[in-house]
């Protein structure tokens, strides 16, 4: 079983080689990385993934660079977001082409979904770094290569409050 180096939130099944996100029902402290681990040990079926797991399995397979995929989190105003949230909010705003130059809108969409509040007006709150991460994470190329990417229903439109922001 492969695990992430930092706080364990993902583990790879030795049978189907899919990545599983630890849910509250899965105790990462009980997993020995030297031992074989399978989806069945978490009372899950191989190859039956939730939306986040589907995205992460497709994205990590596309990028195929552990140095990039290991750094799949990003913080805005002290809130940590995962690469799938960045990608899905971009899709809600019209896709990769539409978010170019609209990084604050992207950060606001993520913040509104998470906290119900937009980003702080204070400078240096990380949303300006989103363009570099979007490129590093190869999200535009990933989007272009996958015409059939599943986006959860709640991400098919921008957060309603985003349209009310100045």
Give strand pairing partners of 10.
Answer: 21
With 0-12 CB in 10 A as exposed, 13-18 as middle and 19+ as buried, what is 153?
exposed
Are residues 146 and 66 in contact, defined by beta-carbon separation less than 8 angstroms?
no
Residues 112-139: tens digit of each pLDDT:
999 999 988 766 566 778 889 999 999 9
Q: What is the pTM of this model?
A: 0.80
Residues 9-23: tens digit of each pLDDT:
678 889 998 888 766
Question: CA triplet 115, 161, 82: central angle to 5 degrees?
Answer: 40
Which among 100, 129, 126 has a CA at the least distance from the CA of 111? Answer: 126
* pLDDT(43) > 80: yes
């Amino acid at each position: 079983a492969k695990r992430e180096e930092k706080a364990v939130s993902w583990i790879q099944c030795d049978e189907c080689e899919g990545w599983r996100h630890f849910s509250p029902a899965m105790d990462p402290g009980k997993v020995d990385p030297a031992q074989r681990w399978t989806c069945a040990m978490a009372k899950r079926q191989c190859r039956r993934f939730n939306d986040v797991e589907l995205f992460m399995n497709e994205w990590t397979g596309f990028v195929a660079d552990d140095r990039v995929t290991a750094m799949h989190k990003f913080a805005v105003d002290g809130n940590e977001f995962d690469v799938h949230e960045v990608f899905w909010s971009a899709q809600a705003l019209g896709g990769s082409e539409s978010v170019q130059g609209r990084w604050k809108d992207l950060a606001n969409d993520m913040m509104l979904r998470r906290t119900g509040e937009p980003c702080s007006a204070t400078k240096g709150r990380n949303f300006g770094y989103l363009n570099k991460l979007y490129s590093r994470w190869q999200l535009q190329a990933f989007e272009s290569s996958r015409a059939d990417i599943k986006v959860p229903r709640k991400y098919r439109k921008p957060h309603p409050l985003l349209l009310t922001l100045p």
